[in-house]
């Protein structure tokens, strides 16, 4: 005979999550994860923007310092170290526009290396540096060196800065003096009418576009005017 045993106590049932509870938990998790991702994305974007601005500021500083330092040398001549032909090359055109729209500049002076390059030699050469913005937005210096025998050495183009949108050059003349496209030491045989410097306007690509205005004085011309050379 089988004996049937009946439970006299209450039975505990195991209750799981309902579908609604699972959906609510899923939505809350998605909201939390989305918030974390948005915070990370915003922080990452801010970091990249700060890095971009830092690089742009560094480009602006380097390009500005290099251009001003080099353009100031325009017209430098050491009559004891140069041949007559070298002296005449610099004197006839120590600065000129590299094209009609004035987006390129050429400067000439007696020095020891084009575009910042230093060569190991005692004799000075005629340095001719051409500045312009390449199609990819790089500010480029393309230089040549002319020695006392007339031999011309062309160096590889040097990139000074990147991310430029445009560049513009404008020669500075004394008040009342007509402007010209070439600066020389023989202009009307009157130093008072010679170019005294150049204004450089650079615009760097970005949002917003950063514009930089520079003025570089032709110190050799100014010295000649002061001392009446």
Give residue-wise pLDDT tens across range 80-90: 788 889 988 99
Mean of all residue pLDDT scores within the chain: 81
Q: Quickly state the pLDDT bin for 208 (edges 50, 70, 90).
A: confident
Supply the range of the domain harboring residue 165: 54-227
Quote the pLDDT of residue 12.
55
Burial 24-35 (b: 16+ CB within 10 A, else e): eeeeeeeeeeee
**Whether residue 26 has pLDDT greater than 50:** yes
Mean pLDDT of 83-107: 92
Nearest to 86 by CA among 111, 106, 113: 111
Quote the pLDDT of residue 191.
57
Quote the pLDDT of residue 130.
96
Q: What angle do CA 120, 139, 94 make, to 5 degrees?
A: 60
Residue 66 lies in a domain: yes
Residue 146 lies in a domain: yes
User: Among the ranges 72-81, 123-132, 180-189, 203-212, which has the highest mean pLDDT value?
Assistant: 123-132
Give residue-wise pLDDT tens across range 112-149: 888 887 766 667 899 999 999 999 989 999 999 998 88
Quote the pLDDT of residue 2.
45
Q: Quickly state the pLDDT bin for 15 (edges 50, 70, 90).
A: low
Give residue-wise pLDDT tens across range 34-46: 778 888 777 777 7
Q: Quickly state the pLDDT bin for 99 (edges 50, 70, 90).
A: very high
Residue 91 lies in a domain: yes
**Cα gap 44→54, rounded to integer Å:** 15
Q: How far is CA 26 from CA 37, 40, 56, 129, in A?
A: 16, 21, 44, 66
Quote the pLDDT of residue 60.
78
Residue 136 lies in a domain: yes
Mean pLDDT of 148-170: 90
Q: State which H helix or E strand residue 41 sits in.
A: helix 19-72
Residue 89 lies in a domain: yes
Quote the pLDDT of residue 74.
92
Residue 36 lies in a domain: no
Q: What is the DSSP letter of 102?
A: S
Quote the pLDDT of residue 185.
78
Domain count, the chain: 1
Residues above pLDDT 90, as percent of the chain: 25
Residue 24 lies in a domain: no
Where in the chain does DSSP place strands (E)?
A: 95-97, 105-111, 125-133, 139-146, 152-154, 158-161, 164-172, 182-183, 197-204, 210-217
Quote the pLDDT of residue 127.
93
Quote the pLDDT of residue 226.
52
Quote the pLDDT of residue 163.
85
Residue 196 lies in a domain: yes
**Whether residue 52 has pLDDT greater than 60:** yes
């Amino acid at each position: 005979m089988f004996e049937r045993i009946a439970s006299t106590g209450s039975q505990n049932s195991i209750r799981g999550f309902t579908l609604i509870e699972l959906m609510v938990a899923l939505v809350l998790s998605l909201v939390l994860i989305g918030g974390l991702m948005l915070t990370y994305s915003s922080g990452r974007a801010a970091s990249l923007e700060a890095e971009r601005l830092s690089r742009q500021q560094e480009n602006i500083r380097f390009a500005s310092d290099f251009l001003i330092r080099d353009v100031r040398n325009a017209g430098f001549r050491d009559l004891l170290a140069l041949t007559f032909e070298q002296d005449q090359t610099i004197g006839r055109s120590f600065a000129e526009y590299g094209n009609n729209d004035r987006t390129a500049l050429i400067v000439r002076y007696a020095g020891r290396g084009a575009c910042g390059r230093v060569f190991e030699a005692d004799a000075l050469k005629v340095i001719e540096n051409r500045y312009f913005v390449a199609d990819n937005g790089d500010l480029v210096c393309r230089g040549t060196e002319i020695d006392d025998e007339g031999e011309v050495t062309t160096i590889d183009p040097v990139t000074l800065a990147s991310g430029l949108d445009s560049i513009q050059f404008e020669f500075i003349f004394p008040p009342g003096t007509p402007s010209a496209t070439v600066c020389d030491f023989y202009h009307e045989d009157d130093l008072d009418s010679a170019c005294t410097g150049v204004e450089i306007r650079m615009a760097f690509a970005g949002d917003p576009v950063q514009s930089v205005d520079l003025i570089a004085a032709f110190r050799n011309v100014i010295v000649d005017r002061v001392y009446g050379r």
